[in-house]
Amino acid sequence: MSIRTDNLTWKIGRKTILDDVSFEAKPGQMLGLLGPNGSGKTSLLRLLAGLKKPHSGSVTLEGWDIKSIGRRAMAQRVAFVEQHAATNSNLKVIDVVKLGRFPHRSMFSGWSKADDDAVSEALDRAGMSEKRDDRWQSLSGGEKQRAHIARALAQSPKELILDEPTNHLDIQHQISLMRLVSSLPVTSIIALHDLNHAAMFCDRLIVMQRGKIVASGAPEEILTQDLLRDVFSVDARVETSPHHARPHIHYLR
Amino acid sequence: MSQTRSPIQQVAVLSVLLLVSLAAIAFVVGVSVGIGDLPIPLSTTYVAITNRLGWTAIELNRIHETVIWDYRLSRALVAAFCGAGLALSGAIMQSLLRNPLAEPYVLGISAGASSGAVAIVILGLGSGAVSLSAGAFAGAFAAFFFVALLSNGTRGGADRTILAGVAASQLFNAATSYVVTTSGNAQQARDVMFWLLGSFGGVRWPEFMLVSVVVGICLIVCLAYARVLDAFAFGDEAAASLGVNVGWARIILFALTAMMTATIVSMVGTIGFVGLVVPHAARFVVGPLHIRLLPACAIVGAIFMVLADIASRALIPQQVLPIGVVTALVGVPFFAVILYRFQRVS
C-alpha cells in the first residue's frame, strides 16, 4: 500500500468537486487518472499532495493520515508536478532542479555530495543535463516541463504525482516522458488526456466523471466502447494493438 | 558556479566582495560627510572617526569634529541603513508576491504612516505625549493589519494581498487628504507634506541605533530564509509541495518587511522607488538566487541612498531637496525601462 484515499469529499463553496472518492495506488505502479475536463482530476491530485484539506474522508500514506505528516516530511517522499507552474524569475535550470533538494536540507545545512548526485541524476533522467545552465525564460514549453520533472525527481520521491505533464510537449517528448515515468522505481499517479498513451503505459487506470470514480482497473478491463461513449461522449472502437498488446482506441468520424 | 569552486575559494571570493562593498559604503559615507556649507576633506572625516574609536589621537579642528559627529556622520549612516532596509524589503515583496512591480509600500505601509503622522500633528491625538514618529509607526502597522485582514490572513494568494494593499493605500491616503484639506492650519499641513516626501534632516545617533538594529536583525533573519524565498519562485502551491510552511513563511517575511519599512518611514518619511529599483538592479548583477540577491540589495541600496542624499544637498546650492524627490527622479526612468522590458518578455 502506498497512497490510499477513503471516501474523500472536497467542495469549493457549495459545489462538490470530489464526491466519495476511494482508491489505492499500489507500490511501484503507474496509475493513470482519466476523465473529461472538470471531472476533478486536478483537485484529487492536489488533495493527494496535501495541498488542500478534504472536507471529509482521508488520504493515507503507508497507512498514516497525511494530516499527521509534516509538510517537510511529506515533501521528502511525495513530489508534485503542477499543470501550470510559471515564474517571472529568470533562474537557471540547475537552480530550479536544486529546489527539489529543499525538503532534504535543514535551514543552515550546506550543499552535500548526495544533493549534488540527486540533482545530476534527475537532470540526466529528464534529458536536461545539457540545458543545466540555461536561463528559465529562454526555455521552450517542453523544456520547462522537463525541468519541472527533473526538480520533482531531485526530491528523491517514493510517490510522484503529475498533472497532465505531457501538455505542450511534442510527440517525441510525450512518449519519452511516459516511458521515463513508467520506468521509474516509484509509485506514480498521473492525470492524462491522451487515452491511448494511458492505455500503453499505465499499469492501472481510474476514470472520473463529475467528481466520482466511475471505473477503475487494468486498461484492457475498463477502456471499453461503452465507457468512451458514456464518459467521454465519443464514438470509438477499442482493439488490442498487434504492436504492444495493449488496448488501442480508434476514434470514429 | 558552486560546482567549479572549492569551498575555500568561495569563502575567499565572498570575503573580498564583502570587503570591497564595505569599503565602497565607507567611501560614499565619507564623501557625504564632507559635503555641505562647511566642506570637510575625506581624510579629516576618517581621522575624526579613528580618533573617536581610540585608534589615533590626532589634533583636529573642533568645529569640524562637532559637525562630523553631531550632524553629518549619523545622517549618512542612517541614510545607508534606510537604503539597505528599503531595498531588502522590496526584494522580499517582489519574491513573495511574485510581482516585479511590488515594493515596500505595497502593503499600504506608507499610507498608514502618513495617516498616523497627520493624526498626531494636525488632530493632536496623544496630546503631545506621542511623537510624530510613534504615530507614523502605529499608523503603518494599522495599515499592515488591515491588509492582512482583507487578504484573508495568510491564506489569500499574492494577487489578493496586492489588491488588499491597494485598497488600504486608497483608504489611508483619503483619510490623510481629508484631514490635511480640512485642517485650518496651513503651516502644519505643509510640514506634514514635507515630511511625507522624506528627509534625513534631524536624524541623529538615537535614530541610527534604532534603524541599524532593526535592519541588521531583519537582514540576518531574511538570509536564513533565502532558500525559502527561492522556493516561492513558482508560487505558493509549488513552495508548499517542496515542504515550505507557506503560511508561517509569509507571516514572518511580511512582518519583517513591515517592521523595517515602518521603522524607516516613521523616521525619514516615504522615500519612494529605492525599494522598487534597487532589487531589479541587483538582480541584473547577481542573478535571482536570494542568498546572493539579498546582501547585494542591502549593499546597493545603502550606496544608492547615500548618493541620493548627497545629490539632494549638492544639486541646488543653499537648498536641500526632499530625498524622495531625488530618488524618484532617478527611479521613474528606471521604472519605465522595467515596464518596457517586461512587455517584451511576455
In order, the DSSP letters of B227-296 are: HHHHHGGG-HHHHHHTT--HHHHHHHHHHHHHHHHHHHHHHH----SHHHHHHHHHHHHH-S-HHHHHHH
pLDDT digits (tens, 9 = 90+) for B296-329: 999 999 999 999 999 888 888 778 888 888 888 8
| Residue B315 per-residue DSSP state | S
- Pick from A53, A66, A71 the residue to mutate for testing the B interface (most B CBs within 10 Å): A71
Q: Does domain A3-86+159-251 have CATH number 3.30.1280.10?
A: no
**Quick one: cell of B33?**
560627510
Pairwise CB contact (< 8 Å): A82 & B238: yes
Residue B137 CA to residue B79 CA, distance in Å, equals 18
pLDDT at residue B37 in the model: 78
Interacting residues of B257 by C-beta distance below 8 A, sequence separation 6+ = B88, B89, B92, B93, B104, B107, B218
Identify the residue whose cell numbers are 523595517: B260
Pairing mode of beta strands A78-81, A247-251: unpaired
| Residue B268 near residue B117 (C-beta atoms within 8 A) | no
A97 in Cβ contact with A119 (< 8 Å): yes
What pLDDT does B156 receive?
64
Interface with chain A: mutation pick from B241, B289, B290, highest number of A CBs within 10 Å: B241
Q: Which of B10, B228, B234 should be substituted to probe chain A, the one whose Cβ sees the most A Cβ atoms within 10 Å?
A: B234
Edge-to-edge strands, sheet with A30-34? A78-81, A159-163, A187-191, A30-34, A204-209, A212-217
Answer yes or no: do A71 and B244 touch at CB < 8 A.
Answer: yes
Q: CA B195, CA B114: separation in Å to the nearest integer?
A: 9
Question: How much of chain B exceeds pLDDT 70, in percent?
Answer: 92
Give, for B344, the enclosing helix (H) or strand (E): helix B323-345
B224 contacts in chain A (CB < 8 Å): 107-108
Length of chain A equals: 253
| pTM for this model (two decimals) | 0.88
pLDDT at residue B2 is higher than 60: no
| Joined grid coordinates for residue B216 | 541588521
Q: Which residues pair with A21 in a beta bridge?
A: A8
Mean pLDDT of B11-21: 89
pLDDT-flagged residues of chain A (< 50) = none
Write the CA distances from B310 to A44, B1, B30, B32, B330, integer angstroms: 59, 37, 11, 6, 13
Longest alpha-carbon distance in chain A: 60
Is residue B154's pLDDT more than 80? no
Cβ neighbours of A235 (radius 10 Å): 12
pLDDT at B130 over 70: no
Distance from the A229 Cα atom to the nearest Cα atom in chain B, whole angstroms: 35
Give me the interface pTM, i.e. the ipTM. Answer: 0.88
Q: What DSSP designation does B153 have?
A: T
- What pLDDT was estimated at residue B78? 95
* Residues composing chain B: 346
Contacts of A102 in chain B (CB under 8 A): 227, 230-231, 242-244
Q: A229 or B153: whose pLDDT is higher?
A: A229
| Per-residue pLDDT at B346 exceeds 80 | no
Is A105–B227 a contact, with Cβ atoms under 8 angstroms apart?
Answer: yes
The pLDDT value recorded for residue B343 is 55
The two beta strands, A187-191 and A30-34, are: parallel
A interface test, pick of B242, B341, B345 with most A CB neighbours within 10 Å: B242
**Residue-level pLDDT at B6:** 67
* Rounded Cα distance, A242 and B199, in Å: 81
pLDDT tens-place string over residues B32-87: 988 887 888 888 888 888 888 888 888 888 888 888 888 889 999 999 999 999 99
Residues B253 and B92: beta-carbon distance below 8 Å: yes
Rounded (5°) CA angle B96-B100-B105: 70
CB atoms within 10 A of CB B50: 13
Q: What is the pLDDT of residue B163?
A: 87
> pLDDT digits over B169-198, tens only?
999 989 988 888 887 777 777 777 777 777
Report how far residue B231's alpha carbon sits from residue B217's, in angstroms, rounded to the nearest whole number: 22
Q: What is the mean pLDDT of residues B211-218?
A: 95
Mean pLDDT, chain B, integer: 85
Collapsed DSSP state (helix, strand, coil) of residue B200: coil
| Residue B106 to chain A, least CA–CA distance (Å) | 18
Containing H/E element for B85? helix B73-96
A-side interface with B, Cβ within 8 Å? 46, 49-51, 71-76, 78-80, 82, 85-92, 95-96, 99-100, 102-103, 105, 107-108, 111, 116, 137, 155
Greatest C-alpha distance within chain B: 68
- Considering only CB atoms, A71 lies closest to which of B95, B234, B245, namely B245
**Is A82 in Cβ contact with B234 (below 8 Å)?**
yes
Cell of A219: 486498461
Q: Which residues of B touch A42 (CB under 8 A)?
A: none
Distance from CA of A123 to the nearest CA of B (A): 15
Q: Residue range B258-263: average pLDDT?
A: 90
The domain ranges of chain A are 3-86+159-251
Are A99 and B230 in contact (CB < 8 Å)? yes
A129: nearest Cα among A150, A114, A113: A150
SS (H, E, C) chain A: CCEEEEEEEEEECCEEEEEEEEEECCCCCEEEEECCCCCCHHHHHHHHCCCCCCCEEEEEECCEEHHHCCHHHHHHHEEEECCCCCCCCCCEHHHHHHHHHHHHCCCCCCCCHHHHHHHHHHHHHCCCHHHCCCEHHHCCHHHHHHHHHHHHHHCCCCEEEEECCCCCCCHHHHHHHHHHHHHCCCEEEEECCCHHHHHHHCCEEEEEECCEEEEEECHHHHCCHHHHHHHHCCCEEEEECCCCCCEEEEECC
Q: Which chain A residue has the Cα nearest residue B225?
A: A107
**Higher per-residue confidence, B99 vs A207:** A207
Instruction: Inspect the interface and report whether the beta carbons of A74 and B243 lie closer than 8 Å.
Output: yes
pLDDT of B5:
62
**DSSP conformational letter for B3:** T
**Chain B CB contacts of A139 below 8 Å:** none
CA–CA distances in Å: residue B119 to residues B73, B177, B183: 32, 11, 11
The pLDDT score that the predictor gives to residue B145 is 87
- What would the pLDDT profile of B229-250 be if each residue is shown by its tens digit? 999 999 888 999 999 998 889 8
Q: Which residues of A touch B231 (CB under 8 A)?
A: 99, 102
Letter for the amino acid at B283?
A: R
Instruction: Please answer yes or no on whether A86 and B234 come within 8 Å at the CB atom.
Output: yes
Instruction: Lay out the sheet containing A56-61: strands in order across.
Output: A15-24, A3-12, A56-61, A64-65
Closest partner residue to B289 (CB to CB) among A50, A74, A95 is A95
- List of residues 6+ apart from B183 with CB closer than 8 A: B122, B189
Architecture field, domain B7-343: Orthogonal Bundle (1.10)
Q: Which of A72, A90, A96 sits opposite B243 (nearest CB)?
A: A72
Q: State residue B1's pLDDT score.
A: 41
Contact B244 A102 (CB under 8 A): yes
Cell output for B86 = 528599503
pLDDT of the residue at B89: 95
Separation between Cα atoms, residue A229 and residue B19, nearest integer Å? 71
Dihedral sign for Cα B278, B281, B284, B285, please.
negative
